[in-house]
Amino acid sequence: MQNRSETFLAYVILAIAPLFFSTNVVFGRAAQDIEPFTLAALRWSLTAIILLAATRRHWPSMRETLRTNLLLLMTVGFLGMWICGGAVYLALKYTTATNGTLIYTIPPVIIVVIEFLWRGRPIALREMAGILLAFLGVLAIVLKGDPAAIFRLDFNPGDLVFVVAAISWALYSVLLKSKSLAHLSTVPLLALVACAGAATLIPFAAAEIVLTGNFPSTARQWWIISGIVVLASIISFSTFQYGVKVLGPSIAGIFLYLLPPCGIGLAWLFLGEQLLPFHFAGMAMILGGVIIATLPVAALRRRARPPA
């Protein structure tokens, strides 16, 4: 049975977890002098090495999982690390961390749609309303608050890549629930996915290095890479998983609603990005839609109910 101090600690840790998650987009925007796929390959290669060292006792079961699920793991690695890593870092050369953070908030509602299309999961009226509101918020960001931009096809390519990445992350999340991967605990599974992601990224990173001759060589560049590995990958994941273990996924997931204000705050503080009216409108619609569609009302009622 959980004691009060452990429960309180879990709430505190979950409250700061979105801050660590948000550092990824900010670091990616700051790394304009590092090639995008090189940055992503270094991130996931170093993360994989650290996680493999930490999961040594699980290696036999991990080898068997890799042997029987190689295609699935490579697909998950491509979706979660190639598209949501290298492609996202490329997108950040064209769009702002603020735009990216806001668009990246919609995967929970996309997951609802994917599970409806793929598994026949019913969609409630509340969820439909939330999905529609969230997608209107994304449109507000992509169109910069100007509906006429859709007729001029005046889009920022970086914003469009973030839309693709949001869909990719939702697919990644659904595939991670595959029954053939369910026997592995969270950290060993992440280690395998990190290895698969690194494998998809390394050829593109090698091509970047050959074509541009650009490889991180300054202290600043390696501080950014270290920050992405330690803060945006290992600490963010570990803090969130601790919260899931103590409080459950439904309660822990609520704290991810803090991602937009955390990401925007970091972008303003460290990158000097400005919030425009369409950002406020988009954030209100996206965050409102995600909360309406995914807020686990039943779980909250159960936790709030006093013991008999």
pLDDT digits (tens, 9 = 90+) for 228-252: 999 999 898 888 878 877 887 667 7
Dist CA 294 CA 101 (whole Å) = 18
Angle separating helix axes 36-54 and 186-212, nearest 10 degrees: 150
Q: Which amino acid is at 115?
A: E
What is the per-residue pLDDT for 307?
40
What is the per-residue pLDDT for 241?
76
> Among all chains, which residue has been given the structure tokens 């103590």?
246
CB atoms within 10 A of CB 220: 13
What is the per-residue pLDDT for 67?
95
pLDDT by residue, tens only, the chain of 308 residues = 557 788 888 888 888 988 999 999 999 999 999 999 999 999 999 999 999 999 999 999 999 999 999 999 999 999 999 999 999 999 999 999 999 999 888 888 888 888 888 878 788 888 889 889 988 999 889 888 888 887 777 788 999 999 999 999 889 988 988 889 888 888 899 999 999 999 999 999 999 999 999 999 999 999 999 999 999 998 988 888 788 778 876 677 778 788 888 899 999 999 999 888 989 999 899 888 888 887 765 554 555 444 43
Which helix (H) or strand (E) is 258 found in, with range?
none
What is the per-residue pLDDT for 305?
47
Helices (H), 32-106: 36-54, 59-68, 70-77, 88-91, 97-103
What is the per-residue pLDDT for 193?
94
Listed in sequence order, the residues at least 6 apart from 50 whose beta carbon sits closer than 8 Å to its beta carbon are 229, 234
Dist CA 279 CA 142 (whole Å) = 10
> Among all chains, which residue has been given the structure tokens 């693709």?
164
Predicted confidence (pLDDT) per residue in 138-173, tens digit: 988 988 888 888 777 778 899 999 999 999 988 998
Dist CA 175 CA 73 (whole Å) = 9
